[in-house]
Amino acid sequence: MPDAPSRPVFRFAPSPNGPLHLGHALSALINESRAAEIGGRLLLRIEDIDPARCRPEFETALKADLDWLGFAYERPVRRQSEHLDAYDRAFSTLQSAGLVYPAFLSRGEIKARVAQVESAGASWPRDPDGAPLYPGPERDWNSAQRAAALATGRQHAWRLDMAKAVTAVGIALAWSESGEGPGGQTGEIVAAPEAWGDVILSRPDAPSSYHLSVVVDDALQGVSHVVRGRDLFHATSVHRLLQVLLGLPVPLYHHHRLLLDAHGRKLSKSQGDTGLTAWRLSGRSAAELRRFLLG
Ligand code: GLU
CATH number of the domain encompassing residue 22: 3.40.50.620
Q: Is residue 201 part of a domain?
A: no
pLDDT 10s digits, 32-70: 999 999 999 999 999 999 999 999 999 999 999 999 999
Give 109 Cα–ligand 1 centroid separation in angstroms: 28
Residue 109 lies in a domain: no
206 contact partners, CB below 8 Å, separation of at least 6: 49, 50, 51, 52
| pTM listed for this prediction | 0.95
Residue 142 in domain: no
Give the distance (Å) from ligand 1 centre to CA of residue 24. Answer: 10
Q: What is the pLDDT of residue 272?
A: 60
- The pLDDT tens digits for 66-86 are 999 999 999 999 999 999 999
Residue-number span of the structural domain to which 61 is assigned: 1-82+259-295
Q: What are phi and psi of 153, to 5 degrees?
A: 75, 10
Domain assignment present for residue 59? The answer is yes
Check if 45 has its Cβ closer than 6 Å to any atom of ligand 1. no
Q: How far is CA 48 from CA 15, 45, 87, 206, 232, in A?
A: 6, 9, 13, 10, 17
The answer to whether residue 176 scores a pLDDT higher than 90 is yes
Q: With contact defined as beta carbons under 8 Å apart, do 102 and 150 qualify?
A: yes
Cα R_g (the chain), whole angstroms? 20
Of the candidates 126, 131, 134, 140, the one whose C-alpha atom is nearest the C-alpha of residue 106 is 134
- Number of domains into which the chain is organized: 1
DSSP string spanning 18-35?
S--BHHHHHHHHHHHHHH
- Domain membership of residue 211 (yes or no) is no
Alpha helix positions (H), 18-82: 22-37, 56-69
**pLDDT(205) > 90:** no
Does 31 reside within a domain? yes
User: 162 Cβ partners below 8 Å, 6+ apart?
Assistant: 193, 194, 196, 197, 198, 199
Q: 210 C-alpha to center of ligand 1: Å?
A: 8
**Residues 235-284: pLDDT tens digits?**
999 999 999 999 999 999 999 999 987 777 777 766 666 788 888 888 99
What is the model's pLDDT at position 270?
66
Residue 63 Cβ inside 6 Å of ligand 1? The answer reads no
- Give Dmax over CA atoms of the chain in angstroms: 71
* Cα 56-271-293 angle, rounded to 5 deg: 95
- Please indicate, yes or no, if residue 28 is contained in any of the structural domains: yes
Inside any domain, residue 263? yes
Q: Which of 105, 266, 115, 288 is nearest to 200 (CA)?
A: 105
pLDDT level of residue 295 (50, 70, 90 thresholds): confident
Query: Which of 11, 232, 252, 266 has the most ligand 1 atoms within 8 A of CB, as the residue to mutate?
Result: 232
